[in-house]
Amino acid sequence: MALAAGKQDGNSLAVNGTPASARVRVRRGAHKGRYNDAAVAAALARGLVAHIAFVDGDQPFCIPMLYAHIGNRLYVHGSRASRVMRCLGAGIPACVAVTIVDGLVLARSAFEHSANYSSVIALGGFVRVDDEDEMLGVLEAFTNKLLPGRWAEVRGPTKKELKATAIASLDLDEASVKLRIGPPDDDHSSDAALPVWAGVVPIETHYGEPVASPGLSPGIVLSPSVRGLKGRSRG
pLDDT tens-place string over residues 79-100: 999 999 999 999 999 999 999 9
User: Is residue 67 scored above 90 in pLDDT?
Assistant: yes
For the domain spanning 10-204, the CATH number is: 2.30.110.10
Cα separation, 230 vs 207, in Å, equals: 6
- Ordered alpha helix ranges (H), 124-172: 132-146, 159-164
> CA angle 15-24-124, nearest 5°?
120
User: Is residue 28 scored above 80 in pLDDT?
Assistant: yes
User: Is 128:94 a contact under the CB 8 Å cutoff?
Assistant: no
The average pLDDT across 177-192 equals 94
Which tens digits make up the pLDDT trace of 97-156?
999 999 999 999 999 999 999 999 999 999 999 999 999 999 999 999 999 999 999 999
pLDDT of 26 reads: 87
pLDDT of 15 reads: 60
Domain ranges of the chain: 10-204
Q: What are phi and psi of 5, to 5 degrees?
A: -95, 165
Cα separation, 235 vs 46, in Å, equals: 5
User: Is residue 10 scored above 70 in pLDDT?
Assistant: no
C-alpha R_g of the chain: 21
The average pLDDT across 43-62 equals 96
The average pLDDT across 164-189 equals 95
User: Is residue 3 scored above 70 in pLDDT?
Assistant: no
User: Is 3:35 a contact under the CB 8 Å cutoff?
Assistant: no
